[in-house]
């Protein structure tokens, strides 16, 4: 089958290569011209997925419309902050028969819309599927066992997407709770920052991590249910599974943000080092605003926001967490 990929960063390249390994023809759009040339000529993408040889069936292009027109199924793997600016010009011009699979995880601070909601608004004539779960790209790109969740209203679409992805090391599970599946992926990024913050301060106790992640999951579920999700969704792969993977992985950009904050770095310095701030930062403000409107208390998330914005030091947040939540 012909498949399009929008964004050949870390995740997009890994997904595209997986699809190509499964025998599908993949055309991926990427805004970075150097990456397009490297993928097509050297069969590598060292900046975003170092050390992985790419399949010949995966090709790259700088033509966004061409990637969308190519695929019967199109995976959107760009950060949520760039969905409107990237895909807005294609409104009304996309093949309505294409199934759009979203992997972006974020909430727009201006509109309160999630990435999945933004895509459905931008491309109302297409059918949509949400993909999320514990899927560190650097791992499944090296054929390490991975299982994710695909969610949406149409079982036939879920079956089609699962048959594209499933192989000996990568498997899918179904859900009809696309709200919960997406929010689990959105919210875990926030709390991964916190665990990076603690680890950056050399607080590496297993007991402590267990406490922190349990309370983080409690906040995720509380907010998710208030937004219309099913609580059981957060007890499965796209909830606790994704939280554990992103919080504990050395490859997690959100965790890395927390580690750099623990070193005393400020946002401009971190942005310069990382290139772009991770999804967790871009989402945090929107989540806190929506939580206030829904009368949902998120003390961990609020504490992280205060640290990130230099309202008080990381040590104060850590001491407050230990005192208020552990004692």
Residues whose CB is less than 8 angstroms from the CB of residue 121 and which lie 6 or more positions away in sequence, other chains included: 113
Q: At what angle do helices 279-293 and 299-308 cross, to 10 degrees?
A: 130
302 has catalytic annotation: no
Choice among 93, 105, 188, 302 that is catalytic: 188
How far lies 65's CA from each of 18, 92, 220, 300, 317, in Å?
A: 22, 12, 36, 41, 46
Residues whose CB is less than 8 angstroms from the CB of residue 323 and which lie 6 or more positions away in sequence, other chains included: none
Query: DSSP letters of 101-142?
Result: EE----B-TTT--BHHHHHHHHSTTSEEEEEESS--HHHHTT
Please report, to the nearest 10 degrees, the dihedral formed by the alpha carbons of residues 20, 139, 131, 4 taken in order.
-30
How far lies 20's CA from each of 51, 136, 155, 265, in Å?
A: 17, 18, 24, 40
Strand pairing category for 170-175 and 146-151: parallel
- Known catalytic residues? 188
């Amino acid at each position: 089958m012909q498949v399009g990929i929008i964004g050949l960063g870390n995740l997009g390249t890994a997904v595209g290569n997986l699809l190509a390994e499964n025998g599908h023809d993949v055309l991926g759009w990427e805004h970075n011209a150097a990456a397009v040339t490297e993928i097509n000529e050297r069969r590598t993408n060292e900046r975003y997925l170092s050390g992985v040889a790419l399949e010949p069936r995966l090709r790259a292009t700088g033509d966004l419309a061409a990637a969308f027109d190519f695929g019967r199924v199109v995976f959107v793997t760009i950060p949520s902050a760039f969905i409107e600016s990237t895909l807005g010009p294609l409104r009304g011009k996309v093949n309505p028969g294409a199934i759009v699979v979203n992997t972006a995880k974020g909430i727009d601070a201006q509109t309160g819309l999630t990435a999945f909601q933004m895509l459905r608004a931008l491309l109302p004539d297409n059918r949509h599927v949400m993909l999320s779960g514990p899927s560190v790209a650097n791992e499944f790109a090296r054929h390490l066992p991975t299982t994710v969740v695909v969610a949406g209203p149409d079982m036939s679409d879920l079956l089609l997407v699962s048959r594209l992805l499933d192989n000996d090391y990568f498997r899918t599970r179904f859900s009809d709770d696309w709200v919960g599946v997406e929010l689990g992926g959105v919210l875990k990024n926030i709390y991964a920052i916190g665990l990076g913050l603690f680890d950056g301060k050399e607080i590496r106790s297993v007991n402590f991590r267990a406490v922190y992640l349990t309370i983080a999951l409690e906040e995720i579920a509380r907010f998710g249910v208030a937004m219309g999700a099913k609580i059981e969704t957060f007890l499965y792969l796209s909830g606790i599974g994704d939280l554990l993977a992103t919080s504990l992985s050395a490859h997690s950009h959100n965790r890395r943000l927390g580690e750099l904050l623990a070193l005393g770095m400020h946002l401009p310095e971190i942005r310069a080092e990382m290139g772009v701030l991770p999804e967790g930062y871009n989402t945090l403000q929107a989540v806190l605003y929506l939580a206030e409107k829904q009368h949902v208390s998120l003390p961990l998330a609020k504490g992280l926001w205060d640290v990130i914005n230099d309202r008080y030091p990381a040590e104060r947040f850590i001491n407050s967490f230990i005192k208020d939540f552990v004692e």
